[in-house]
């Protein structure tokens, strides 16, 4: 998503051939190469590498299974926010999701499995990659899931205000998110497309990759906290303590995001145990860092 865009925005599904299933190999794409490999640790599963970076994991016929821990953390956060726990009904109403960053569409497959009537748009800058993914993987078809080729910020700024319940930013150029997707101006554009009407309380979720100094993460926290009244952050303890490279998930909303005991338990019992920080902790973490601007 942070790579140079080639060609105009369009629905990649229109260019994809009929689904023919995954075939291991290295494929040229608009921004370099995509490599599809069998998972050496799980029969029948696949790994997708984009320009040498592991980008997606896919288990045929099991869309609700997420291999990457940060995706499981996002899934737990969304279920805590949107599932109708009080009535015991499980998953709540259908969601309108915008995914900024495509690759193998792992989270979009998960959302379709858990919230099957949801409408989703996945934005991917690489048209060739989007077409391959549509051919390889068992993705829902439009209108349930549309793949849109374009640059994440430009697409976000073009959308009708108040039309999304969730925006998930999972865009990387190398190991970090492109700068234009980390600023107050971009975050306000995300805020504009979220539906904040009663009963919705749209949520922005951002995957931040950072070094042990956590300078990028503090800036992201300050930026999201400058736009939204309520924030949370999720990561494993070594990441929060600045002991390694890794991912921190930030979320912002105008509706309360106070983590429930169930969310805390779910994160602690994950295969990679994680902690969730509430709004006060996020703002303390961001103290001294200025919100990023264009």
Please state which of the ranges 11-20, 99-108, 136-145 shows the lowest mean pLDDT.
Answer: 11-20
pLDDT of residue 90: 53
Yes or no: say if 2 and 173 are a contact pair by the CB < 8 Å rule: yes
| Residue 89's CATH number | 3.40.50.150
The total of structural domains in the chain comes to 1
Cα–Cα distance between 264 and 80 in angstroms, integer? Answer: 10
> CB under 8 Å to 198, separation ≥6 — which residues?
none
Write down the mean pLDDT value for the chain.
89
Whether this prediction's pTM lies above 0.85 is answered by yes
- Determine which helix (DSSP H) or strand (DSSP E) holds 75, and give its type and residue range: helix 69-82
Cα–Cα distance between 35 and 190 in angstroms, integer? Answer: 31
Instruction: Grade residue 92 by pLDDT with cuts at 50, 70 and 90.
Output: low
Residue 99, in any domain of the structure: yes
Cα–Cα distance between 154 and 133 in angstroms, integer? Answer: 22
Residue 292, in any domain of the structure: no
| Mean local confidence (pLDDT), 117-134 | 94
Residue 268: Cβ within 10 Å count: 11
| Mean local confidence (pLDDT), 18-45 | 89
pLDDT of residue 185: 98
Q: Which domain holds residue 210?
A: 10-286
pLDDT of residue 156: 97
Give the burial class of 138: count Cβ atoms within 10 A of its Cβ; 0-12 exposed, 13-18 middle, 19 or more buried: middle
Residue 250, in any domain of the structure: yes
Residue 291, in any domain of the structure: no
| Mean local confidence (pLDDT), 233-237 | 97
Residue 260, in any domain of the structure: yes
Residue with tokens 């991912």: 247
pLDDT at residue 277 greater than cutoff 90: yes
Residue 242, in any domain of the structure: yes
pLDDT of residue 188: 98
Residue 2, in any domain of the structure: no
Residue 95, in any domain of the structure: yes
């Amino acid at each position: 998503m942070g790579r140079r865009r080639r060609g105009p925005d369009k629905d990649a599904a229109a260019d994809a051939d009929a689904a023919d299933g995954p075939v291991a190999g290295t494929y040229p794409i608009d921004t370099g190469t995509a490599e599809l490999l069998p998972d050496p640790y799980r029969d029948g599963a696949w790994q997708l590498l984009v320009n040498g970076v592991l980008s997606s994991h896919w288990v045929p016929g099991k869309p609700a299974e997420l291999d990457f821990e940060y995706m499981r953390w996002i899934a737990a956060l969304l279920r805590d926010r949107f599932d109708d726990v009080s009535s015991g009904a499980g998953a709540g109403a259908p969601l309108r999701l915008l995914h900024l960053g495509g690759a193998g569409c792992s989270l979009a497959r998960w959302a379709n499995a858990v919230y099957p009537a949801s409408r989703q748009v996945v934005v991917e800058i690489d048209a060739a990659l989007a077409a391959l993914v549509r051919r390889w993987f068992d993705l829902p078809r439009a209108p349930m899931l549309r793949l849109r080729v374009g640059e994440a910020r430009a697409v976000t700024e073009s959308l009708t205000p108040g039309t999304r319940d969730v925006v998930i930013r999972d865009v990387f150029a190398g190991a970090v998110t492109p700068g234009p997707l980390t600023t107050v101006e971009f975050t306000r554009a995300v805020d504009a497309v979220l539906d904040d009407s009663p009963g919705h309380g749209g949520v922005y979720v951002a995957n931040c990759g950072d070094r042990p100094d956590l300078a990028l993460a503090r800036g992201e926290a300050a930026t999201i906290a400058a736009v939204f009244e309520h924030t949370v952050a999720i990561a494993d303890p070594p990441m929060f303590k600045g002991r390694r490279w890794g991912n921190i998930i930030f979320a912002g909303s105008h509706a309360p995001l106070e983590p429930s005991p169930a969310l805390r338990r779910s994160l602690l019992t994950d295969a990679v145990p994680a902690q969730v920080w509430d709004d006060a902790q996020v703002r303390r973490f961001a103290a001294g860092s200025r919100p990023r601007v264009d």
